[in-house]
Amino acid sequence: MAFKWNKWLPRIALLVLCAFAIIALVLSLVGIHSVALPPENKYGLVFDAGSSHTSLFVYQWPMDKENNTGVVSQTFSCHVNGSGISSYTKNPTEAGASLRPCLDEAMRVIPPERQREAPAYLGATAGMRLLRKQNPSTSDQILEEVGKAIREYPVSFRGARIISGEDEGAYGWITINYLLHSFTQYSAKDRDWVHPTSAGLLGALDLGGASTQISFLPTESIANSFRFRLYGFDYGIYTHSYLCYGQNEALNQVIRVLLNDSSSSSTLDHPCYPKGYNESIEVASLFNSSCANNQTKPPDAASKVFLVGTGNARLCREAIRNIFNFSNCSHNKSCGFNGVYQPRVDGKFLAFSAYYYTFSFLNLTETHPLPVVEDAINAFCDRTWKDLNTSYPKQNSTRLLNYCASANYILTLLLDGYGFSNTSWENIAFQMQAGNSDIGWTLGYMLNLTNMIPSEMPQTLRGHEEGPWVASVFFIVVTLALAIVLLLINFFQ
């Protein structure tokens, strides 16, 4: 019997079109499945609860990590209104309440689906270290209250604690070298992340309100180094924190020394304050801090003393030197100050926090020879209080008052305390940011903590798992194939 092409041709054409449609569908599904979407990010929050203020930093890193350490970047920062949490001794609940505005803003930055898994930490530094020495129960209560406030938010709260000075110094060192690509950098040639030589590692100089830290990789082998692992490599650095030698506490020490050395019980000449400045201060307030434990109040001191600025940079430096002990070293003369062991400073350093803010105001953050820096500071200290107020009407009056003292304190700390010299001075850079990230201990803290977060591979398709997609594609293909077979049987019968 002759085959009737006019009857079957349309049906065959339809079957061919169906076959092409099935192939296109399968190829499109396979094509979508094989294209990996950008990896999702994880987020973390770190509060830096310093002696004078608190800041919140939000970091993010991809789920697919490099050598078990997240490639972390700062995505948000917020400065908490008010003083540091250690100032809330009379009302600890307000310490927690002060954090809420910044937490509210952070929740608008972190995607809702990532908030509950985001680790949140609060690290308190020297202000709380001093309060813990003075009143342990109050410091514990403040930490409890800030913890309660953070728990109100949909984050994975991991604790509020007082970090050690050595932790603060070491994490600052990590932050600097991470931001400057000393640990890992992308190689266009290798199309991969590579480990640069250790020659690029910088030392860290941090100056806070109540403590100061120095951290660097020494050229000699030392005992009790701070050790950690990042990007598959081990590091051992020297780090030390000097409590009570942060900018604010150190300058208060200077006033107490001047008071003890003064021949007058009611008037006190202050060479670090500008000429024309004067104020009356309560003597008792100078000795409330734990940092005053080694400084006794003069028995004949009046309840108030009248401070008079004399604006003399040379005498200012001399007064500042009196709060240090440069002679009591039992480590083969390898000391910083106050008898603390320190290897000889070597290599390049980055100075941040109060170092940067003071030198930025004085336009000294660019690299200058030491004599140029000293001349600029001396010239500033010669200016009267009236002249300074006229020249800087928008400047905070307390900061303006202390710039001469702070600058001379920085010179004394770096030169006499840490052992920098005329030649090594230009190895110090003054900087507060690198890229879009602030320099401080919090990023280093977050980098170290990401080692404890299991490495994950990004999902290829957002909102779907691989198993259901494979099952769905298989079901569609099998169903359409059976339909074609049934059509063929029906057509050719």
As annotated, the active-site residues are 168
| Type and span of the H or E element at 194 | strand 192-194
Helix (H) or strand (E) holding 382: none
Helices 313-321 and 247-261 pack at an angle, to 10 degrees, of 100
Distance between CA 338 and CA 277 in Å, rounded? 32
Contact 75, 114 (CB under 8 A): no
Amino acid found at 247: Q
Residue 427, token pair as written in the block: 């190895």
Give the containing element (helix H, strand E) for 119: strand 119-124
Q: Is 423 exposed, middle or buried (0-12, 13-18, 19+ CB in 10 A)?
A: exposed
Please, are residues 401 and 274 in contact by the beta-carbon 8 Å criterion? yes
With CA atoms as reference, report the closest residue to 427 among 349, 324, 338: 349
Helices and strands: H and E segment counts in the chain: 16, 18
User: Cα 187 from chain centroid?
Assistant: 26
In this structure, the strands spanning 41-49 and 54-62 are antiparallel
Q: To which H or E segment does residue 63 belong?
A: none
- C-alpha 423/C-alpha 131 separation (Å) is 40
Contact yes or no for 167/447 (Cβ under 8 A) = no
CB 266 within 8 A of CB 302: yes
Give the three-state DSSP class for 78: strand
Q: What one-character DSSP code corresponds to residue 341?
A: B
Q: At what angle do helices 313-321 and 370-381 cross, to 10 degrees?
A: 110
- Sign for the pseudo-dihedral over CA of 299, 300, 303, 305: negative
Here the tokens at position 368 are: 């200058």
Pairing of strands 192-194, 203-207: unpaired
Q: In angstroms, what CA-CA distances link 216 with 166, 257, 345? A: 12, 31, 8
Residue 443: its H or E element: helix 441-449
Residue among 123, 121, 130, 132 at smallest CA distance from 156: 121
Beta strands in 362-466 (DSSP E): 428-430, 433-434, 437-438
Q: Would you state the structure tokens that stand for residue 348, as one six-digit string?
A: 């390049």
